[in-house]
């Protein structure tokens, strides 16, 4: 998640829309928090899975990116503590938070400084070029064939009544062998009235069951340039329905 935030904070569909065959219609909102004006751009995307979800990016009026929202996974990425380096604005603090969860899932502080003479030796690492799919190339929807399930383990039935208008999300990284890694809860979103403590206990149990079941899933690995690569996978549960992406 941090490499994605560091290397590819904005998708190529935003920077180079002509590369994507989809006709994306962006919504632009001019907003204000206190006395600070900012702009939010967003579009609805189903990633080819038929479950629409909003992707949104928030900028200060100066054009600096400060926040990214991924509705399907529930991940919120923030950038701050900017510094000008080599004529470009570089954020020195990155954080990823799950919607509805306490605290950050992961954070990083970035140090940006010129290379010393001793450091220049590592600019070019000896050896053959890395194979496609084994580099730090960003995962883009348009050129990544996502992982498809070989075996899907459904979460066990709830022992209580799952509350209405609550969505629980789980994310994982599917490795080059098609095995889920780093499975974790990424969001618990309440869209209506706050559930009772008993109902929240059912939500917590459901989230735990989703994580355990997701670890048993197996996939055909994702592909970039026809070569296996790691890719993201997410699972959502809400009001008795389950969907994956």
Q: What tokens does 28 get?
A: 């632009």
pLDDT classification of 192: cutoffs 50, 70, 90: confident
CA gap 150, 185 in Å, rounded: 22
Q: Give the tens place of pLDDT for each residue, 136-160.
A: 555 666 666 778 889 999 888 877 8
Q: Which CATH class is domain 144-244?
A: alpha beta
Q: What is the pLDDT of residue 112?
A: 84
- Round to whole Å and give the CA distance between 53 and 189: 14
**pLDDT number for residue 137:** 58
pLDDT of residue 242: 60
Global confidence as pTM? 0.78
Chain region(s) in the chain for CATH 3.30.2420: 144-244
Q: Distance between terminal CA atoms of the chain?
A: 17
Residue 30 has pLDDT above 80, yes or no: yes
Which pLDDT band holds residue 161 (cuts at 50, 70, 90)? Answer: confident
Which neighbouring-strand residues pair with 41? 28, 57
Query: Quick one: which of 177, 158, 166, 170 has its CA closest to 212?
Result: 170
Q: What is the mean pLDDT of the chain?
A: 83
């Amino acid at each position: 998640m941090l490499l994605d935030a560091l290397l590819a904070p904005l998708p190529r569909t935003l920077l180079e829309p002509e590369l994507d065959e989809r006709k994306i219609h962006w919504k632009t909102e001019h907003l204000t928090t206190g006395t600070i004006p900012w702009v939010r751009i967003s579009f609805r995307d189903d990633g080819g899975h038929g479950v629409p979800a909003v992707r949104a990016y928030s900028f200060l009026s100066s054009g600096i990116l400060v926040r990214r929202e991924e509705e399907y996974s529930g991940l919120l990425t923030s950038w701050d503590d900017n510094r000008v380096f080599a004529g470009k604005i570089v954020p020195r603090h990155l954080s990823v938070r799950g919607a509805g969860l306490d605290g950050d899932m992961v954070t990083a502080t970035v140090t940006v400084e010129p290379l010393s003479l001793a450091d220049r030796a590592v600019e070019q690492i000896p050896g053959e070029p890395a194979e496609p799919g084994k580099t730090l190339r960003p995962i883009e929807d348009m050129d990544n064939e996502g992982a498809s399930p070989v075996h899907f383990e459904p979460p066990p039935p709830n022992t209580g009544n799952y509350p209405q208008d609550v969505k629980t999300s789980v994310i994982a990284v599917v490795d080059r062998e098609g095995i889920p890694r780093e499975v974790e809860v990424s969001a618990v979103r309440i869209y209506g009235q706050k559930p009772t403590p008993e109902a929240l206990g059912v939500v917590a149990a459901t989230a735990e069951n989703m994580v355990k079941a997701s670890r048993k899933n197996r996939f055909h690995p994702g592909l970039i340039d026809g070569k296996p690569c790691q890719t993201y996978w997410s699972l959502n549960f809400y009001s008795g329905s389950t969907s994956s992406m």
